[in-house]
Amino acid sequence: CVLTHDAKFDVPLLTAALRLPVAFVGAMGSRRTHEDRNRRLRDEGVTEAELARLRSPIGLDLGARTPEETALSIAAEIVAVRQGGTGHPLTGARTPIHHDTPGGPPRADVLV
């Protein structure tokens, strides 16, 4: 997860991360920041396939307002990706609550 608030750091860090064999790459920011960042990443030669791996704006929509709530929304998205969850409420769901991820979840050391 990139948390710099400065394109001169975000773009090189994300360019490198998107080219690594890691399970998750995310970046904070508004939707406007996301669009500007994607333009800058394309200008640096990041491919559409690489950009498709970027989770941005990062986090699940929990209505987060505080830094703690934002951290929880990011952690929840990472868990959902690792475990094959949808991020949708369980209320009314007809799918299994616990998912078996083929091959198990990615190792923590390959999350960026």
User: Which strand (E) or helix (H) includes residue 79?
Assistant: helix 67-83
Give pLDDT, residue 108: 47
Question: 72 near 60, Cβ under 8 Å?
Answer: no
Q: What percent of the chain has pLDDT over 70?
A: 85
User: Which strand (E) or helix (H) includes residue 9?
Assistant: helix 7-18
| Six token digits for residue 85 | 């969850």
Tell whether 35 is covered by a domain: yes
Tell whether 81 is covered by a domain: yes
Tell whether 59 is covered by a domain: yes
Look at the chain and report how many structural domains it folds into: 1
Q: 81: domain CATH number?
A: 3.40.50.720
Weakly modelled stretches of the chain, pLDDT under 70? 1-3, 99-112
User: Which strand (E) or helix (H) includes residue 31?
Assistant: helix 31-43
Domain that holds residue 77: 7-86+99-110
